[in-house]
């Protein structure tokens, strides 16, 4: 089964900038998949379309079998996104933020696992601290936690380790591996660190100027460089 199936996906922003051009891409269920490319290539646009935050201009997107247009609710429920921007409501605590997120996704109270998720990302100590007092690293941990509250089958991380210190990078990598191996979660991450892609990803796609220019196993693709 494919976790993600994208056909003929294009995005032209208001003003005429073509950020994505006729992308065909499938991501197998259970894999760790890397989306690589230089700044401005279209990676965030692609991820934001998957997340339902940016409206595509053309094409088909299926998430966990659900067509984004025909089954918007189910497709949205199947995916969790850790964004790149560290935007958080400064007046929420991590516990509060997770409750709100769970409410937004309609997760029943009996299925909420805030403590477990906070523990996993290493935020238990800060569960009651206001977000405005959290460091950049803590905010990233909270954003990962928020992406997990509705138990998505597919987790997307947009540049999860850009500008983070070694300790946090190791923690994020460890979390990602655990989610993939122990829960079979499909992971998609964007990065411009080749080393990170090599370390983490089973398969890689490379985007440049809105075009998908390569897609192969990590060994085949990075072995050629």
Does residue 19 touch ligand ADP according to CB under 6 A? yes
Does residue 37 touch ligand ADP according to CB under 6 A? yes
Does residue 17 touch ligand ADP according to CB under 6 A? yes
Do residues 46 and 201 make contact, with C-beta atoms less than 8 angstroms apart? Answer: no
Q: Which is nearer to ligand ADP, 10 or 74 (CB)?
A: 10
User: Does residue 45 sit in helix, strand or coil?
Assistant: helix
Q: What CA–CA distance (Å, rounded) separates 136 from 138?
A: 5
Terminal alpha carbon distance of the chain: 30
| Residue found under tokens 């803590």 | 138
CA distances (Å), 86 to each of 111, 141, 155, 159, in order?
Answer: 27, 10, 17, 12
**Least distance in Å: CB of 203 to ligand ADP?**
18
Does residue 40 touch ligand ADP according to CB under 6 A? yes
Does residue 34 touch ligand ADP according to CB under 6 A? no
Does residue 83 touch ligand ADP according to CB under 6 A? no
Q: Which is nearer to ligand ADP, 35 or 123 (CB)?
A: 35
Do residues 186 and 215 make contact, with C-beta atoms less than 8 angstroms apart? Answer: no
**Least distance in Å: CB of 63 to ligand ADP?**
19
Q: Which is nearer to ligand ADP, 42 or 94 (CB)?
A: 42
Q: Which residues pair with 183 in a beta bridge?
A: none
Q: Which is nearer to ligand ADP, 16 or 108 (CB)?
A: 16
Q: Do β-strands 79-82 and 66-67 pair in parallel, antiparallel, or remain unpaired?
A: unpaired
Number of residues that bind ligand ADP (CB under 6 A): 13
Among residues 31, 44, 114, 180, the one that binds ligand ADP under rule CB under 6 A: 44
Count of Cβ atoms closer than 10 Å to residue 163 Cβ? 9
Residues of the shown chain interacting with ligand ADP in the complex, contacts defined by CB under 6 A:
13, 15, 17, 19, 37, 39-45, 84
């Amino acid at each position: 089964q494919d976790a993600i199936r994208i056909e003929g996906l294009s995005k032209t922003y208001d003003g005429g900038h073509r950020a994505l051009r006729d992308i065909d891409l499938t991501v197998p269920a259970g894999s760790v998949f890397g989306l690589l490319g230089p700044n401005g290539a279209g990676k965030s646009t692609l991820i934001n379309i998957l997340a339902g935050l940016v409206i595509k201009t053309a094409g088909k997107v299926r998430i966990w079998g659900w067509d984004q247009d025909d089954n918007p609710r189910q497709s949205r429920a199947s995916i969790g996104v850790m964004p790149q921007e560290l935007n958080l409501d400064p007046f929420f605590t991590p516990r509060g933020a997770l409750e709100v997120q769970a409410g937004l996704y309609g997760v029943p109270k009996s299925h909420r696992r805030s403590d477990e998720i906070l523990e996993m990302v290493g935020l238990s100590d800060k569960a009651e601290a206001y977000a405005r007092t959290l460091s950049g690293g803590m905010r990233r941990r909270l954003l990962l936690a928020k992406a997990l509250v509705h138990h998505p089958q597919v987790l997307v991380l947009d540049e999860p380790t850009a500008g983070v210190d070694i300790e946090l990078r190791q923690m994020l990598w460890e979390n990602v591996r655990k989610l993939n191996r122990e829960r079979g979660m499909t992971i998609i991450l964007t990065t411009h660190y080749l080393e990170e892609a090599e370390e983490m990803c089973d398969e890689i796609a490379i985007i440049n100027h809105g075009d998908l220019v390569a897609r192969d196993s990590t060994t085949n693709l990075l072995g050629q460089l």
